[in-house]
A and B are shown apart, each in its own frame.
Chain A
């Protein structure tokens, strides 16, 4: 079974069918480029994978694990949804950085908050243990018990400290990776579009998603700024990182993708390697689209 397996995804808004049954699969480490004209459902597909939209029908699996199945998850609860969502990362067209946090804080916010949940559960556990003494007589010595509790608490605290340090250095590494080490304390409003998008990429990477999705990452940028973002995305390509890129940059799709999907009217019109789709398109719609895309340049 492939790493990512998408089966029969459909999405309706009322009577409007945006996705009419999408099937594809992706191996680990592959880069998939999705191209197609506006309104063909590319973005909706990405949003379905990230569960910002709930697919009306269909299912998808990641590494053999069922992530979503419309039949079973009609009423998926919030926490379940959140856990599954973390397998996927999403970089938005218009960055959506948090304006009140500086660059480094933007990157560290989510890992910090997710960690907080774990820690508060552990703390609650400790309090429970302490309270239990009131209701149940202690078997061993009292002193011993409290020492043990103290030890556990100290362990928790030192783990916490270690985590914070690790997270901070991880954030710095990520920033270096996107070439913005000097902007760690800058606020999003002080960044150019290209820089903002690179921060957004670092932020998505901080959670180490299995599949990183890009929703037209350069569409909101000036032409001279797209290069720096595409370069970063190109640099992310590695044997272990699976990526899905919705893009209008044909040259980029051609050179980076292992696989290209051309979408039209909510269906996959054509799919294959870049050579197949760009070099020798079979569908008339693909041919027309590619011609138009060339015309633009």
Chain B
């Protein structure tokens, strides 16, 4: 198999990887915020249910979760998963939302009570205080840990191969199996490396952009 052919094949896989990455990110970021609110709720049953859920999701392997989401509906409820990609996406979104929720929670709890009180004495509503005062400060504080998770997510997309989603790692492995050449594995690695390199540059740019104030 020529270099051009391998490139073409890997690009196909890379497209799937990108799709998985972007969809997971777009869905898990807001869902994580909702879960964070749940785990900070003053309504105790909701708080404990959410915390238990986060514990289970963070305490078990993502690979196991992918397998579970793919097989459980079919084997237990007789409603087989229609798409492998969908199964992976659901597992990823839930898993990453839980990780994000803890980052959000840390960020939100790090904002001093004084900021809320200042908003209150100025007659603002709770919603206004959160969205106009607190959220921005939270975002600034969570960018470094979020960057970490986001870069991990890029690499975790390779777990999708466990249920035969044709992403980058799976396709490169296929080439190795069929043609008996090893270098496409390293080539695939280069894809991840370059992608993460670009992401790092982007994220540190965002971090710099928010450096116009301290605190």
Q: A278 interface residue, CB < 8 Å from B?
A: no
Closest partner residue, chain B, to A47 (CB atom): B117
Q: Contact between A98 and B133 (Cβ–Cβ < 8 Å)?
A: yes
CB distance from A85 to the nearest CB of B (A): 6
Option from A52, A86, A189, A207 in Cβ contact (under 8 Å) with B215 = A189
User: Which segment of B36-44, B83-91, B124-132 sits at the interface?
Assistant: B124-132
Option from A90, A100, A207 in Cβ contact (under 8 Å) with B140 = A100
Chain B residues within an 8 Å CB radius of A96:
112, 114-115, 117-118
Chain A residues within an 8 Å CB radius of B214:
99, 187, 189
- B 104-117 to A, binary, CB cutoff 8 A, 1 in contact else 0: 00000000101101
Chain A residues within an 8 Å CB radius of B115:
96, 98
CB distance from B136 to the nearest CB of A (A): 5
CB distance from B31 to the nearest CB of A (A): 25
Q: A89 interface residue, CB < 8 Å from B?
A: yes
Chain A residues within an 8 Å CB radius of B204:
none
Chain B residues within an 8 Å CB radius of A207:
122-123
Q: B212 interface residue, CB < 8 Å from A?
A: yes
Q: A109 interface residue, CB < 8 Å from B?
A: yes
Pair count A-B, CB < 8 A:
64
Task: Please measure, in the bound complex, the distance between the C-alpha atom of A261 and the C-alpha atom of B58, giving whole angstroms.
Answer: 56
Q: Contact between B121 and A88 (Cβ–Cβ < 8 Å)?
A: yes
Q: Contact between A86 and B123 (Cβ–Cβ < 8 Å)?
A: yes
CB distance from A188 to the nearest CB of B (A): 7
CB distance from A198 to the nearest CB of B (A): 15
Q: Contact between B123 and A92 (Cβ–Cβ < 8 Å)?
A: no
Q: A259 interface residue, CB < 8 Å from B?
A: no
Q: Contact between B121 and A100 (Cβ–Cβ < 8 Å)?
A: no
Q: B157 interface residue, CB < 8 Å from A?
A: no
Q: A94 interface residue, CB < 8 Å from B?
A: yes
Q: Contact between B213 and A99 (Cβ–Cβ < 8 Å)?
A: yes
Chain A residues within an 8 Å CB radius of B152:
none
CB distance from A286 to the nearest CB of B (A): 30
Q: B17 interface residue, CB < 8 Å from A?
A: no
Q: Contact between A50 and B121 (Cβ–Cβ < 8 Å)?
A: yes
Q: A110 interface residue, CB < 8 Å from B?
A: yes
Task: Please measure, in the bound complex, the distance between the C-alpha atom of A210 and the C-alpha atom of B180, giving whole angstroms.
Answer: 83
Q: A104 interface residue, CB < 8 Å from B?
A: no
Q: Contact between A110 and B114 (Cβ–Cβ < 8 Å)?
A: no
Chain B residues within an 8 Å CB radius of A78:
125-126
Q: B50 interface residue, CB < 8 Å from A?
A: no
CB distance from B143 to the nearest CB of A (A): 13
CB distance from A241 to the nearest CB of B (A): 17
CB distance from B65 to the nearest CB of A (A): 37
CB distance from B132 to the nearest CB of A (A): 6
Chain B residues within an 8 Å CB radius of A114:
123-124
Most buried by B among A86, A89, A98, A187: A98
Q: B137 interface residue, CB < 8 Å from A?
A: yes
Option from A85, A97, A187 in Cβ contact (under 8 Å) with B120 = A85
Chain A residues within an 8 Å CB radius of B126:
78
Given known A-B contacts A98-B118, A98-B133, A100-B137, A82 and B123 have beta carbons under 8 A apart: yes
CB distance from A100 to the nearest CB of B (A): 5
Chain A residues within an 8 Å CB radius of B120:
52, 85
Task: Please measure, in the bound complex, the distance between the C-alpha atom of A83 and the C-alpha atom of B215, giving whole angstroms.
Answer: 30
Q: A118 interface residue, CB < 8 Å from B?
A: no
Q: A11 interface residue, CB < 8 Å from B?
A: no
Chain B residues within an 8 Å CB radius of A138:
none
Task: Please measure, in the bound complex, the distance between the C-alpha atom of A85 and the C-alpha atom of B118, giving whole angstroms.
Answer: 12
Q: Contact between A187 and B121 (Cβ–Cβ < 8 Å)?
A: no
Instruction: Give the contacts of A96-144 with B (CB-CB under 8 A).
Output: 96-100, 109-110, 113-114
Q: A10 interface residue, CB < 8 Å from B?
A: no
Q: Contact between A203 and B137 (Cβ–Cβ < 8 Å)?
A: no
Task: Please measure, in the bound complex, the distance between the C-alpha atom of A189 and the C-alpha atom of B137, giving whole angstroms.
Answer: 13
Given known A-B contacts A99-B214, A187-B212, A110 and B122 have beta carbons under 8 A apart: yes
Most buried by B among A82, A88, A92, A96: A96
Closest partner residue, chain B, to A102 (CB atom): B213
Q: Contact between A187 and B213 (Cβ–Cβ < 8 Å)?
A: yes
Closest partner residue, chain A, to B133 (CB atom): A98
Chosen A-B contacts, 26 in total, with CB atoms closer than 8 Å, are A50-B121, A52-B117, A78-B126, A82-B123, A82-B124, A85-B120, A85-B121, A89-B121, A96-B112, A96-B115, A96-B117, A97-B118, A98-B133, A99-B137, A99-B214, A100-B137, A100-B140, A100-B213, A109-B122, A113-B124, A113-B132, A114-B123, A188-B213, A189-B214, A204-B122, A207-B123
Q: Which 6 A-B pairs have the closest CB atoms?
A: A110-B122, A96-B118, A96-B114, A99-B215, A189-B214, A90-B121
